[in-house]
């Protein structure tokens, strides 16, 4: 097959126009074009009055070899690459048959843990998955109770439970990570197999939406079990057993021997995938206390900002706003401040809402989510300021202490009942507390308490945000509108630590411990977390083969 890129057509083009464009590009007759598959469809909205669709297509044609030779100097015509995922080992029936000691353990069932467990199961390695929270449907009930009534379950919420933090998000499936082994395609294909729309395989910036993710996550769990895996909910790992008597390559390294659960059980294993997500602070503390190498890493803090979605649509798409193929418009913004800080938009949720994402009592965190239709009245995103370990000196866990401090301050400003502190942008820029809402109604539940957010973040962060918002106005007219609402605080943009690993994906000083995903500092979103889960599962499989 041949791959054709940069095929541009009008937004409202007829279906046959795509075929005609292919025939014209290849200079062939209709009878020579046997099959067309859309690999990717995006849009170019740089000219709002003339938005065009941009296609990458794979085509089956007669005499493809001669066409490749004829167009060998054309950068937009090439042979279709093989994008099939191939596991590093074939299905191993025997590895997992020697007793429980040989079964790999996966801690955490967010996107990274799910894909690590799925791949291990597909290779016949019968993983045991330990999730501290509940199944995705039971967890959804607890999360909605918190959103409506303000009753937090510290073990079952927007952070903890089957599906991880990504379940209550926009379900975004795009990433900036490289994918030479087609891991990303593997992630998308497995999601489709579990019930996601096939359009995620080709649309630009695909997303699934929260409610659809619930069913998909459940289907993937059932597939893991069908393949011989085991999933245990409400099974919090409280300690790990490490044998530190061995020496490897001149460095003192421990060897994983198993994990201790809160219920008193001990599960032996020499291969443990740590995919706990960015909010498992008690787990991070336990690992640090046990001597696992951990280091501080940069992360970001800020607020959620809400605007009318119609304003964003109009700014991005002009008179073509509302077109079915364009959907709700998003944005991506960044500003480099005079004080050296970077402020940027993060986790933009078109047609969505701001949600309560706390996981610890007495601390308040916000996040954003959208349903598949993205048809809520507000657009929201985080606008956050980058911070580094220099801003929170101390041991490697000092970033967690800063997060907690900011979340406790937000809890106080919100009235200590999980209402979020909020402020109109106009008042924030003027440095005065808000007392009444304007034209934008905040979507956060259990509710918003208006105040002055100027004390909710470090002074340097407030200064940077006040500089960045007017700068963003130059890119999106109306961004700095007086009535847009800021809701605090956003602190869980990424993990504040990194659990470093070596070339075999194992902890630098604990063999058999495979740090993975967002919590370990190696991913940032559903797709990249899924990719990392696959890579780590491959490393586990290779290690198990070598250990036989």
pLDDT tens by residue, 314-358 = 999 999 999 999 999 999 999 999 999 999 999 999 999 999 999
Six token digits for residue 140: 């959804």
- Check residue 177 and give its pLDDT: 62
Determine the average pLDDT of the residues in 237-263: 83
* Residue 73: Cβ within 10 Å count: 6
* Residue 433: Cβ within 10 Å count: 14
| DSSP symbol at 455 | G
Separation in Å, CA 312 to CA 106, 324, 367, 374: 41, 16, 19, 13
User: How far is the C-alpha of 198 from the C-alpha of 318, rounded, in Å?
Assistant: 29
Q: Determine how β-strand 247-248 pairs with β-strand 272-274.
A: unpaired
pLDDT tens by residue, 91-100 = 766 454 444 4
| CA angle 94–96–100, rounded 5-degree value | 145
Confidence band, pLDDT 50/70/90 cuts, at residue 54:
very high
Is the pLDDT confidence value at 198 over 80?
yes
Contact 93, 148 (CB under 8 A): no
Determine the average pLDDT of the residues in 225-238: 98
% the chain with pLDDT above 90:
85
Confidence band, pLDDT 50/70/90 cuts, at residue 246:
low
Is the pLDDT confidence value at 247 over 50?
no
- Check residue 172 and give its pLDDT: 76
Nearest to 240 by CA among 442, 527, 496, 509: 509
Determine the average pLDDT of the residues in 233-254: 80
Query: Which positions ≥6 away from 94 have C-beta within 8 Å?
Result: none
pLDDT tens by residue, 149-195 = 999 999 999 999 999 988 887 667 876 666 667 899 999 999 999 99
Residue ranges of alpha helices (H) inside 33-77 are 64-70
Residue ranges of alpha helices (H) inside 227-296 are 281-289
- Check residue 100 and give its pLDDT: 42
User: How far is the C-alpha of 495 from the C-alpha of 514, rounded, in Å?
Assistant: 16
* Residue 400: Cβ within 10 Å count: 22
Is the pLDDT confidence value at 425 over 60?
yes
Six token digits for residue 87: 């596991």
Contact 146, 152 (CB under 8 A): yes
All domains of the chain, ordered by start, with CATH?
2-79 (3.30.70.2700), 95-295+500-547 (3.50.50.60), 298-490 (no CATH)
Contact 135, 176 (CB under 8 A): no
Confidence band, pLDDT 50/70/90 cuts, at residue 102:
confident
Top-confidence residue, 267 or 100: 267
- Check residue 98 and give its pLDDT: 44
Confidence band, pLDDT 50/70/90 cuts, at residue 217:
very high
Query: Which range, 76-90, 117-131, 369-383, is most confident?
Result: 117-131
User: How far is the C-alpha of 316 from the C-alpha of 320, rounded, in Å?
Assistant: 9
pLDDT tens by residue, 443-493 = 999 999 999 999 999 999 999 999 999 999 999 999 999 999 999 999 999
- What SS3 class is residue 434? coil
Query: Which positions ≥6 away from 264 have C-beta within 8 Å?
Result: none
Nearest to 368 by CA among 404, 318, 420, 437: 420
């Amino acid at each position: 097959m041949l791959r054709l890129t940069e095929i541009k057509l009008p937004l409202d083009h007829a279906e046959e126009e795509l075929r005609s464009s292919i025939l014209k590009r290849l200079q062939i007759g209709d009878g020579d074009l046997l099959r067309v598959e859309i690999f990717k469809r995006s849009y170019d909205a740089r000219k709002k009055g003339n938005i065009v669709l941009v296609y990458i297509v794979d085509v089956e044609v007669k005499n493809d070899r001669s066409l490749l030779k004829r167009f060998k100097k054309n950068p937009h015509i090439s042979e279709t690459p093989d994008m099939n995922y191939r596991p590093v080992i074939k299905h191993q029936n025997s590895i997992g048959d020697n007793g429980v000691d040989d079964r790999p353990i996966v801690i955490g069932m967010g996107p990274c843990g799910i894909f690590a467990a799925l791949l291990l199961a597909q290779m016949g390695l019968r993983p045991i998955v330990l999730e501290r929270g509940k199944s995705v449907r039971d967890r959804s009930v607890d999360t909605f109770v918190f959103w409506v009534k303000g009753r937090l379950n510290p073990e079952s919420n927007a952070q903890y439970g089957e599906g991880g933090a990504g379940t209550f998000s926009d379900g975004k499936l795009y990433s900036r990570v490289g994918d030479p082994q087609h891991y990303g395609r593997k992630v998308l294909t497995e999601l489709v197999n579990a019930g996601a729309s096939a359009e995620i395989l080709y649309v630009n910036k695909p997303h699934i939406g929260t409610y659809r993710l619930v069913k998909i996550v459940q289907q993937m769990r059932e597939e893991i079990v069908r393949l011989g895996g085991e999933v245990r909910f409400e099974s919090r790992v409280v300690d790990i057993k490490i044998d530190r008597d061995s020496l490897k390559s001149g460095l003192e390294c421990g060897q994983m021997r198993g994990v201790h659960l809160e219920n008193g059980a001990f599960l032996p294993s020499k291969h443990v995938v740590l995919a706990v997500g960015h909010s498992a602070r008690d787990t991070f503390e336990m690992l640090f206390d046990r001597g696992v190498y951990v280091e501080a890493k940069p992360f970001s803090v800020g607020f959620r900002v809400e605007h009318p979605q119609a304003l964003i649509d109009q700014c991005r798409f002009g008179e073509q706003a509302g077109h079915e193929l364009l959907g709700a418009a998003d944005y991506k913004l960044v500003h480099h401040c005079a004080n050296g800080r970077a402020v940027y938009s993060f986790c933009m949720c078109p047609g969505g809402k701001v949600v309560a994402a706390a996981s610890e009592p007495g601390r308040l965190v916000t996040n954003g989510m959208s349903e598949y239709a993205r048809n809520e009245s507000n657009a929201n995103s985080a606008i956050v300021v980058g911070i580094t370990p220099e801003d929170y000196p101390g041991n490697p866990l000092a970033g967690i202490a800063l997060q907690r401090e900011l979340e406790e301050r937000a809890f106080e400003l919100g009235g200590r009942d999980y209402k979020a502190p909020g402020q109109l942008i106009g008042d924030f820029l003027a440095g005065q507390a808000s007392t009444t809402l304007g034209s934008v109604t905040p979507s956060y539940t259990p509710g918003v308490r208006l105040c002055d957010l100027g004390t909710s973040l470090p002074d340097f962060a407030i200064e940077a945000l006040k500089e960045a918002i007017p700068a963003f106005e130059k890119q999106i007219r109306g961004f700095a509108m007086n009535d847009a609402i800021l809701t605090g605080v956003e602190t869980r943009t990424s993990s504040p630590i990194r659990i470093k690993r070596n070339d075999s994906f194992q902890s630098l000083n604990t063999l058999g411990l495979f740090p993975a995903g967002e919590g370990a500092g190696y991913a940032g979103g559903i797709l990249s977390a899924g990719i990392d889960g696959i890579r780590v599962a491959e490393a586990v499989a290779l290690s198990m083969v070598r250990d036989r």
